[in-house]
Amino acid sequence: MPRVYPIEKVRDIGIIAHIDAGKTTVTERVLFYTGISYKIGDIDKGTTIMDWMEQEKERGITITAAAITCFWTPRGLEHKKENEYRINIIDTPGHIDFTAEVQRSLRVLDGAVVVFDGVAGVESQSETVWHQADKFKVPRICFINKLDRIGASFENSFNSILEKLSSNAVALQIPIGLEVQHKGVIDLLKMKALKFEGDFGQLVKEEEIPKDLIGEAKKWREKMIEKIVAEDEKAMENYLTNKEIPTEELRKVLRKAVLDYKLIPVFCGAALENKGIQPLLDAICYYLPSPKDMPPVKGIDSQTGQEIERKAEDDEKFSALAFKIAADPYVGTLTYFRVYSGGLKAGSYLLNSTTNEKERIGRILRMHAAEREETKEVFTGDIAATVGLKNTKTGHTLCEESSPIILEQIIFPEPVISIRIEPKTKQDQEKMGLSLKKLAEEDPTFKVKGDLETGETIISGMGELHLEIIVDRMKREFKVDGLVGKPQVAYKETIKTESEAEGKYIRQSGGRGQYGHVWLRVKPKQRGEGFEFVDEIKGGAIPKEFIPAIQKGIKEAMDKGVLAGYPVVDLQATLYDGSFHEVDSSENAFKIAGSVAFQEAVKRAKPVLLEPIMRLEVIVPSDFFGDTIGDLSARRGKIEETKDRLNLKVIEAKVPLAKMFGYVTALRSLTEGRGTFTMEFDHYEEVPSNIVQEIIEGRRK
């Protein structure tokens, strides 16, 4: 079966934003105008296509990234197959507890639409998703939404993008009126007013710009043209000699600048009022990259260890990245993958080059949120899913056995909060273990471990809401009721100075004994740099075959720190001396000796406790500003900035996670239910000495 849509006409995009900026509403309008849905879904009624999980419908938030495909012919072009674009969309969550969904989506997308709230402009989590997109070098366009709301300001929102995110933003539209007067948008390229008529804004009318806005539009157009022509010598020459530059030429220059991440076009509208979505769809086709526009994907040849690359072409060798695992009640485990090169037919065998195991691709499915459509073949640039892969996890590479490649894996943040969980009945014990294992396979930021000392199961995640959803899913999808303990902070331990220590393990008990003897040096590393093992053994003081066992002993000792038993992070351990016995030395003896030396060295290196510090944005009515600030200070919060937004106050602060449990209730009672906040992990910081003792004693209890 040949490819239906040429690769140049394929767009793999994500819709990303701060929570409540209107991502899902924008996506629902896109699906309606592209003919995928026949009625517009409503978040408040729980009828959206993209938020299909029960928990999403109840809470009105996106929890899991949903993939869907739609088709669009840019306005002004004839409705022929050759003018149609295929757009694969992933709608991502805005809540920072589900950051893994955003991370993995951005890793496999070529472009992104970033949605902003026209009242609030750039918010704390807008910055987070923006920086995640920067990390993966994703070209993007912006959409300033909700211009129909009271207090909306296109100019303020646009300026907040320039100030906080990128000075490369360029406005391609300005609104006609704001709040209840918001009637449409002005297209600055064509210098036309666009009005959206019909019951659902499906009829786009081009009109002359209202007289009172012509001066304003010319001023914005001038700024726009200056920014665009600065990216191309020929266009700049024409501009300086006052030659008229055709719209098509400006579009071409702008497209190249967007792909090179030199300019970011900004559009506007009000998705809930059905205004501004069709021009946004045109912009996705005009300015965002096709898989062919992206540089060839780089990877490692698993046989030689050399860096190799694959071009985005159908006749290249097949390579794909599995970016999401999901349990489907009807078909079993779904593995979502993005094809980077080559094509794939159902029934083929592939190599999972990450684990070096073979996998059979039985069925290939195109996903439409919760719906599935079977297909026989997929091509470069496609996003699809398959069923029943045995050992493929998030971040694994699938490729042809004859030419193995390992693509760059996705790195996820570590969990910051833990809770104890136990089944309500003995019968549920095994079911709970299986359900937690499945949920952990789906979500790389959710971790499960058993505490050997207490026999308890500890689950860890990115926040209270994250774990609440996990427990809720366990109950609904796997029919397991769990008893949940109080949330606990994921503290860490580290060291402040350099130190050395000796570790000996010598046992003699008739017959062959045990002999392991090592000298270790530990020294601190920068926060977030992790662990490094250095082997400086000279002259065979310890035989090479015992070195990995010593490293293993150190790693095991790192799981339980010397202060309060929390994991030890951010240090370098150097093995520089030791001795061995010809007969009695063994891997086990050296593993124990390494562990003993490490614990002793850490004790001498001024160990300290680290705690997660959260970045907090609190929005409260002005009357409650003083009380809210006082409450945050009592929680050991550091106020970083306060701003005015209409009659509200916005407080940005850094607060220890340990002091933030139950903050929802506290803020509600402080502000008569009118305060809101968003919180995300920022960094780890040393715990003040007066609190360390409390934590250590609490842990011992």
Amino acid identity at 523: K
290 neighbors 43 (Cβ within 8 angstroms) = no
Q: How far apart are CA 23 and CA 92, in angstroms?
A: 8
Amino acid identity at 77: L
Can you spell out the DSSP letters for 13-68? EEEEESTTSSHHHHHHHHHHHTTS-SS---TTTT--SS--SHHHHHHTS--S-EEE
Would the annotation count 437 as a binding residue?
no
Residue 62: C-alpha distances to residues 15, 95, 280, 569 (Å): 12, 8, 21, 33
Would the annotation count 17 as a binding residue?
yes
Q: How far apart are CA 504 and CA 597, in angstroms?
A: 8
Would the annotation count 18 as a binding residue?
yes
Would the annotation count 203 as a binding residue?
no
Would the annotation count 48 as a binding residue?
no
281 neighbors 89 (Cβ within 8 angstroms) = no
Would the annotation count 92 as a binding residue?
yes
Three-class DSSP category at 577 = strand
Would the annotation count 24 as a binding residue?
yes
Would the annotation count 91 as a binding residue?
yes
Would the annotation count 541 as a binding residue?
no
Three-class DSSP category at 152 = coil
Residue 494: C-alpha distances to residues 149, 499, 557, 689 (Å): 49, 13, 13, 14
Can you spell out the DSSP letters for 302-330? TTT--EEEE-S-TTSPPEEEEEEEEEETT
CA angle 235, 236, 239 (to 5 degrees): 85
Would the annotation count 243 as a binding residue?
no
| Cβ-Cβ contacts under 8 Å for 280 (sequence gap 6 or more) | 26, 30, 113, 141, 143, 267, 269
| Cβ-Cβ contacts under 8 Å for 441 (sequence gap 6 or more) | 325, 333, 393
Would the annotation count 65 as a binding residue?
no
Q: How far apart are CA 431 and CA 427, in angstroms?
A: 8
Q: How far apart are CA 157 and CA 268, in angstroms?
A: 10
Would the annotation count 549 as a binding residue?
no
Would the annotation count 20 as a binding residue?
yes
Strand order in the sheet with 371-375: 357-360, 349-352, 397-399, 319-328, 332-341, 383-387, 364-368, 371-375
Q: How far apart are CA 196 and CA 86, in angstroms?
A: 24
Would the annotation count 288 as a binding residue?
no
Would the annotation count 431 as a binding residue?
no
Which DSSP state fits 282? H
Binding residues for GTP: 17-24, 91-95, 145-148
In the annotated binding site, the residues are 17-24, 91-95, 145-148
